[in-house]
Amino acid sequence: MKPLNLLSAEDFLEGQLLLVDKPLGYTSFQAVNALKWAIIRKFKLKKLKIGHAGTLDPLASGLLIICTGKSTKKIATYQGLEKTYTGTFTLGATTPSYDLETEIDAQFKTGHITPEAIELARKQFVGAIMQHPPLFSAIKKEGKRLYEIAREGKTTTTTARAIEIYTFDIDSSKFERKQTLDFAVSCSKGTYIRSLAHDFGKALDSGAHLSQLRRTAIGPYQVTSAQTPEEIKTLLCT
C-alpha cells in the first residue's frame, strides 16, 4: 500500500481505503467532507466518490473506514465486519439519548450493586440478544429520523433487533469511587453501545448511560494504524 503522500489522483479515483482516527466532536460526515475537499483541491478534481463504512457519534472517537472512488462499492462489506469498542458506563443515572448528548433525566440508587451482580448482568449480554435502538438515532420511522422525532419532544417506540455480542469484558475497579465501569466489547453490525449501557443499568435494577466510547477495530483494521483527518490532510499536502 502506497504512502498517502505518494498517491495520485488516479489512485483515489480507482479506489482507496483510508483508516481515520475520528476525534471527539467530529461527526462522521465532517471527517469524510474534510478529506473529500482536501483530495479534490490537491488534484483539481471536479468530483470524487467518497463515503464511510459505519457512523461514529460525535461524542465517540476512534476508527472510521473511509472509501474513495471504486472502493465505495465495498462499503457494505466493511459495514458488516465485527466492531470492537472500549469505553465507560456511568451508573446511577440515565439520559434520553443514553449518552452525554442530553441531560440526565432520572437518577437511581447504586448501593445494592455488588461485583457479583455486575458479573451476573454482564453474562446476560453475551451472545445473540435482542436490542432496542436508542430513540436518539438515525434510524427512520415513517419517513423521519428517530432523533428528529425525539428532538420535537414526541414519543415513539423502537423495534427490537437481533444483534450479537461476541465478547464483553467489564472492569469494576473504579465503581465504588466513581460509580463507573470501564468495558471492552466486540459485536456485530447494528449494535448500539448506548443501548447496551442503558440496558446494563436496567439489568442492575438501577440506571446507566454511556459516558465514553472509542472504536478500536473494525474486522482486521485497527485504530493504531489510523490517522486523524488533520494528519491525513497534512500528508496529502506534502
Radius of gyration of the chain (CA): 20
Are 92 and 185 part of one and the same domain? yes
Chain-wide mean pLDDT for the chain? 91
Are 225 and 214 part of one and the same domain? no
CA distance 89 to 62: 17
pLDDT computed for residue 133 by the predictor: 87
130, pLDDT greater than 90: yes
- Mean pLDDT value across residues 203-209: 98
Beta strands in the chain (DSSP E): 17-22, 50-52, 61-68, 83-91, 93-94, 106-107, 127-131, 140-141, 144-145, 161-171, 180-187, 208-218, 221-222
For residue 172, give Cα distances in angstroms to 21, 182, 183, 227.
27, 7, 9, 31
235, pLDDT greater than 90: no
Give the domain range for residue 179: 83-218
**Of 1-10, 140-149, 193-202, which range is least confident?**
140-149
Q: How many domains does one find in the chain?
A: 2
CA distance 127 to 108: 28
pLDDT computed for residue 150 by the predictor: 53
Are 28 and 92 part of one and the same domain? no
Note the helical H segments in 17-64: 28-43
Are 96 and 205 part of one and the same domain? yes
What are the two backbone dihedrals, phi and then psi, of residue 41, each rounded to the nearest 5 degrees?
-65, -45
Helix axes 229-237, 28-43, angle to 10 degrees: 0
* Per-residue pLDDT tens over the stretch 58-109: 999 999 999 999 999 999 999 999 999 999 999 999 999 999 999 999 999 9
pLDDT computed for residue 117 by the predictor: 97
Are 126 and 212 part of one and the same domain? yes
pLDDT computed for residue 160 by the predictor: 87
CA distance 68 to 125: 36
Are 131 and 68 part of one and the same domain? no
pLDDT computed for residue 5 by the predictor: 81
pLDDT computed for residue 183 by the predictor: 98
Are 136 and 154 part of one and the same domain? yes
* Per-residue pLDDT tens over the stretch 151-203: 656 566 678 899 999 999 999 999 988 999 999 999 999 999 999 999 999 99
Give the β-pairing of 93-94 and 140-141. unpaired
CA distance 78 to 224: 18
**Which of 6-10, 134-138, 187-191 ranks highest by mean pLDDT?**
187-191
Are 39 and 149 part of one and the same domain? no
- 32 touches 52 (CB < 8 A): yes
CA distance 99 to 118: 20
Confidence of residue 135 (pLDDT cuts 50, 70, 90): confident
Contacts for 16 with CB less than 8 Å, ≥ 6 apart? 7, 67, 68, 69, 71
Confidence of residue 237 (pLDDT cuts 50, 70, 90): confident
What are the two backbone dihedrals, phi and then psi, of residue 104, each rounded to the nearest 5 degrees?
-60, 130
Are 91 and 136 part of one and the same domain? yes
Are 133 and 232 part of one and the same domain? no
Are 122 and 186 part of one and the same domain? yes
More confident residue, 128 or 150: 128
CATH of residue 41's domain is: 3.30.2350.10
Tell me whether residue 113 is exposed, middle or buried, using C-beta atoms within 10 angstroms of its C-beta: 0 to 12, 13 to 18, 19 or more: buried
Percent above pLDDT 70 for the chain: 90
Are 97 and 145 part of one and the same domain? yes
Active site residues: 57
CA distance 135 to 151: 10
Beta carbons within 10 angstroms of residue 111's beta carbon? 7
pLDDT computed for residue 2 by the predictor: 76
